[in-house]
Chain A
Amino acid sequence: MNVLDYLKGKAWLTAVLLLLGLVLLPFMVEASLGKSWLRILDFALLYIMLALGLNIVVGYAGLLDLGYVAFYAVGAYCWALLASPHFGLNLPFWVILPTGAAIAGLFGVLLGTPTLRLRGDYLAIVTLGFGEIIRIFLNNLNAPVNITNGPQGITQIEPVTIAGLSLGKTQEIFGITFSSPHLYYYLFLLFVALVVFVCMRLENSRIGRAWVAIREDEMAAAAAGINTRNIKLLAFAMGATFGGLSGGLFASFQGFVSPESFNLMESIMILSMIVLGGMGNIYGVILGALLVTMIPEALRYTGDLQRAVFGEVFIDPADLRMLLFGIALVLMMLLRPAGLLPSKLRRQELAEDAT
């Protein structure tokens, strides 16, 4: 607590310490927990981007989108098709990534348009359908012309290469060895920073206020002069763009994509990150994404724990972790229905302090 008090008001020092911590984190994780946890960390960063993207649609604009993973899929397949032996293409990442993000954004508008008049449950059901349609398309677009290679998915996807340096294999830089997940960690971190920056700027802007106004009361927002159609489409497009961006990074990192990675469960997981962390609050969403990616992984160790305590494994850790995760979600909804870090609460507290 004392340390926090000391750092208060010293924004620069805090930023430098945070940056240092983030740069050193993968060294510590790799040394203490191993490479697999470094990969988990990378995925956590991808999910932060996804959750922040979905947060624009659900958290700010209040549009319950259950098909968000479709945009992740579009971004991933864009990368896969433009940088793999499947079409024999290998475009540089600074071409593919914006292309994938833009195409995903376009899909956001395309899928958003027919849903403009829908709200709440109805919107959720239609977007859920759209998400599934995209996945089914990916599954079946292998005949008569083989575009997506069907359920087998696309393999041997090229990793990101920056200035001749491939992030796909271990590299030695200045005498320090960096594993591939370690290199990707820095790339993802950069993109997370970008996404966080964009969200922060938008949150406190005319557009951000218009989104929240629509969430709060769409009719009043329209009567207050907001072109609700355009502003909602903008939310869909922005969210989808972030989804496409993460998708592209995912494809390059994984080296393999198949329709299986983009099922409904994935959309629901991303949504639960937002709900758990605190809808509409950037820090809450980041926390939610970290917890929802890390906790299930950590719960894998319940198998070892059971063996240590009882001498044998009673419940399969895979079952147990979904069970515990479910219980955790239910408890959260009972105890902190607005999420771990609800938005606006802090500001409101500050206002009350002042009076």
Chain B
Amino acid sequence: MSDLLRVANVSKHFGGIKALTDVSFTVRKGEIFGVIGPNGAGKTTLFNALTGLYQPDTGAIDLVGTSLYRRKPHEILKAGFARTFQNIRLFHNMTALENVMVGRHTRTTSGVLAALLHTAHNRKEERDCMAYAQQLLTRVGIGKHTHTLAKNLSYGDQRRLEIARALASEPKLLALDEPAAGMNPNEKNALRDLMVSLREEGLTLMLIEHDVKLVMGICDRLVVLDYGQKIAEGTPDVVRHDPKVIAAYLGGEVVV
């Protein structure tokens, strides 16, 4: 399998806190790649640094030949790297459909003039965009909430809406930050099925998740972060038995 994302020596500090130190790994095309680690390990910071919300201090980030290092978030999305947020960030006073339509911003082109003149291209684009968005809502399982304001959706549905919005940009790589947080077992199963079917369609996924059963069951490979450093990388089986990982999770001394 070919490499999709290459991350080399990415570091990020906040004042005295070294949130990430020389983190390197490679995500291969078509896999589900897990990012795990204890609270405060730097997982979210890693996603933020990769997607342009934080400026990394050093390093290299490469998505199939395009450097994403220190690029703007919208440029990174356009290059094919979408993400969701750990603390849900939806457009609360927009409907579910509109949220997903905003996600298609980079895949549509109509500007002010086209909107004012209602050109044929503009009308077709709006129609297609709406249909595409509706299809995605159905896909993630909230197809009947088209016109519900995002803020009125249940917690689990909000998480699904975020995924739909990210998918609307037709990404190559989708990074999910704790998508199962706050979901009940049924919702978790549906989410798991969704992730598997997305992978089958050729999408590559990155997944931050605390639910060990879920993450070990679904991920092809993982990295483990602790105090901003990579302490392990490999298949679930390898990672599970890594003494450093066990120590990090149990909070004990590292015994090699």
Interface residues of A (CB under 8 A from B): 198, 201-202, 205-210, 212-213, 216-217, 219-228, 234, 238, 343-344, 347-348, 350-351, 354-355
Contacts and interface: CB of A to CB of B under 8 A. Distances in A.
Question: Closest 7 interchain pairs by CB?
Answer: A205-B115, A351-B147, A225-B106, A216-B91, A220-B89, A222-B73, A225-B77
A354 to B, nearest CB: 7
Contacts of B90: 216-217, 220
B146 to A, nearest CB: 8
Contacts of B169: 224-225
B95 A351 contact: yes
Interface of B: 51-53, 72-74, 77-78, 82-83, 85, 89-95, 98, 101-103, 105-106, 108, 110-112, 114-116, 118, 122, 125-126, 129, 144, 146-149, 152, 165-166, 169
Contacts of B126: 205-206
B112 A207 contact: yes
B136 to A, nearest CB: 13
A207 B94 contact: no
Contacts of B152: 348
A223 B98 CA distance: 16
B94 A347 contact: no
Contacts, number: 113
A212 B93 contact: yes
A5 B174 CA distance: 49
A213 B147 contact: no
A202 B116 contact: yes
Given A220-B91, A223-B82, 7 more contacts: A213-B102, A216-B94, A220-B90, A223-B85, A344-B149, A347-B147, A351-B146
Given A201-B116, A206-B108, A216 B74 contact: no
The DSSP consensus for interface residues of chain A is: helix
A206 B110 contact: yes
Which of B52, B112, B169 has the largest number of chain A CB atoms within 10 A? B112
Contacts of B166: 224
A176 B223 CA distance: 83
B105 A224 contact: yes
B101 A209 contact: yes
A206 B105 contact: yes
A212 B83 contact: no
Nearest to A209: B102
A213 B94 contact: yes
B69 to A, nearest CB: 17
A222 B51 CA distance: 10
B91 A212 contact: yes
B55 to A, nearest CB: 13
A222 B74 contact: yes
Nearest to B148: A351
B77 A223 contact: yes
A221 B52 CA distance: 13
Nearest to A354: B147
B102 A224 contact: yes
A236 B172 CA distance: 34
Contact of B83 (A198, A223, A226): A223
A226 B107 CA distance: 11
A212 B112 CA distance: 15
A10 B104 CA distance: 35
Contacts of B118: 201
Given A201-B115, A209-B94, A225 B147 contact: no
